[in-house]
Amino acid sequence: MRQRLLPAALLLPLALLLTACGGDSSADTGGDVDGKGSVTLNVGDQKGGSEAILRAAGELKNLDYKIKWSTFTSGPPLLEAVNAKAVDIGGVGNTPPVVAAGSDSKISVVAAWHGTSKSDAILVPNSSKLTAPNQLKGRSVAVAQGSSAHFQLVASLQAAGLSLDDVKVKYLQPADALAAFTSGKVDAWAVWDPYTSQVLQAKQGRVLTTGEGITNGLTFQVAAPSALADPKKAAAVKDYLTRLRRAQDWVHGHQEEWAREWAKDTGLPYETALGAVRRSVSTRVAVAVDKPLIASEQQLADTFTNLQLIPKKVRFADFVDDRFNGDLPPSTTAPKN
């Protein structure tokens, strides 16, 4: 018999915030930045993402442009908004750009960060008898379709000698997946931080495996080509990326301070936020969008094509704009642990 779980309400503060944003749709955050000038940069974000880190690091001051924020539940719907020109730029994991490219979306990867993949995890309830990924055969696994966790699930199964056909995949956005996991409706959940930390801190699950060593640990900022074609907006994008890189560097030396701000922004307990920061956020290093990065993402794209998870073969290089690389280190830079 499955161990009785704590009420899902104790585990849902972030999920409820995301649900309030309209599922796959977006919602204004209310924290728009009224900078100088006539240019407005429309930025797609996830709760506890770019806006929160920029604000905590003091990087939203003295802007020569305005910022209008929209919040999304995960990367795929955010990139749908980029394709629709509703968003000029936004942050996602390593898989959504590949999925968007496979649908001929109009997107350009303009910035990248390399970090550990420890927070990309497949979780199981504490009461589960599963102890290794190869035991997932025949089991149900929740995951957000087209997300970084989707590829992490694929890669973890392949490393264990299995395929997606060997498991019962339940495509659920994070809020629904968290509810399904805590109520025992799925056997496992492939997800990212802060959800990983949320479940672990609540002692309602454990890590079966992570993406460490099998996924590339990349996250991206992805822009709309139409925004990049506008000189004024392109200048705003350049400044925005510079500030975002400085903010991420600030986190390395201010983990506890950032965790407090992240907790405030998401509604998560401080200990949960701190666990997520220490496991993943604090490891990220800004890197160049270069040939090794493109090659790594091309492998991901080819995997999804072969599994018919995207409709056609993608040439990832066609969806990259490296004009904002500057003097950043190569993408092969090892993350800080």
Question: CB of 185 within 8 A of CB of 128?
Answer: no
The H or E element containing residue 260 is: helix 255-266
**Section 299-319 average pLDDT:** 94
Alpha-helical regions (H) of 118-201: 148-159, 174-182, 195-201
User: In this model, does residue 22 exceed pLDDT 70?
Assistant: no
Please tell me the predicted confidence (pLDDT) of residue 195.
85
* pLDDT cut 90: percent of the chain above it: 66
Write down which residue in 159, 191, 210 finishes a domain.
210
- Residues 182, 42: one domain? no
**Section 176-180 average pLDDT:** 95
Angle at 55 between CA 10 and CA 250, to 5 degrees: 100
Residue 226 belongs to a domain: yes
User: In this model, does residue 6 exceed pLDDT 50?
Assistant: no
CATH number for position 136: 3.40.190.10
Query: Locate tokens 């590829």: which residue?
Result: 151
Please tell me the predicted confidence (pLDDT) of residue 71.
92
Residue 128 belongs to a domain: yes
- Residues 151, 195: one domain? yes
Write down which residue in 210, 226, 245 finishes a domain.
210
* Lowest pLDDT segment from 144-148, 328-332, 333-337: 333-337
Return d(Cα 192, Cα 335) in angstroms, integer: 17
- Residues 227, 314: one domain? yes
Query: pLDDT tens digits, residue range 189-248?
Result: 999 888 888 888 888 899 999 998 889 989 999 999 999 999 999 999 999 999 999 999
* Lowest pLDDT segment from 150-159, 172-181, 195-204, 302-311: 195-204
Please tell me the predicted confidence (pLDDT) of residue 279.
73
- Residues 72, 181: one domain? no
- Residues 107, 221: one domain? yes
Please tell me the predicted confidence (pLDDT) of residue 8.
37
Please tell me the predicted confidence (pLDDT) of residue 27.
53
Query: pLDDT tens digits, residue range 54-93?
Result: 999 999 999 999 999 999 988 899 999 999 999 999 999 8
- Residues 27, 107: one domain? yes
- Residues 280, 310: one domain? yes
The residue among 165 and 15 whose pLDDT is bigger is 165
* Greatest mean pLDDT among 45-49, 85-89, 331-335: 85-89
| Confidence band, pLDDT 50/70/90 cuts, at residue 34 | low
Question: CB of 289 within 8 A of CB of 110?
Answer: yes
Please tell me the predicted confidence (pLDDT) of residue 28.
52
What is the total count of domains within the chain?
2
- Residues 98, 230: one domain? yes
Query: pLDDT tens digits, residue range 252-307?
Result: 899 999 989 888 877 888 888 888 788 776 678 999 999 999 999 999 999 999 99
- Residues 188, 271: one domain? no
**Section 126-149 average pLDDT:** 95
Please tell me the predicted confidence (pLDDT) of residue 221.
98
Q: Which amino acid, one-letter code, is at 302?
A: D
Query: pLDDT tens digits, residue range 222-234?
Result: 999 999 999 999 9
Write down which residue in 184, 210, 236 finishes a domain.
210
- Residues 227, 105: one domain? yes
For residue 152, give the nearest of 111, 187, 193 by alpha carbon: 193
Residue 328 belongs to a domain: no
Residue 57 belongs to a domain: yes
Residue 334 belongs to a domain: no
* Domain limits for position 189: 8-13+117-210
- Residues 100, 244: one domain? yes
Please tell me the predicted confidence (pLDDT) of residue 25.
45
User: In this model, does residue 12 exceed pLDDT 50?
Assistant: no
| E strand map for the chain | 27-28, 40-46, 66-72, 89-92, 108-114, 121-124, 140-143, 168-171, 188-191, 206-210, 218-223, 285-287
Whole-number average pLDDT of the chain: 87
Question: CB of 151 within 8 A of CB of 122?
Answer: no
Please tell me the predicted confidence (pLDDT) of residue 332.
86
Return d(Cα 119, Cα 197) in angstroms, integer: 8
Please tell me the predicted confidence (pLDDT) of residue 21.
34
Residue 332 belongs to a domain: no
**Section 307-324 average pLDDT:** 95
- Residues 26, 55: one domain? yes
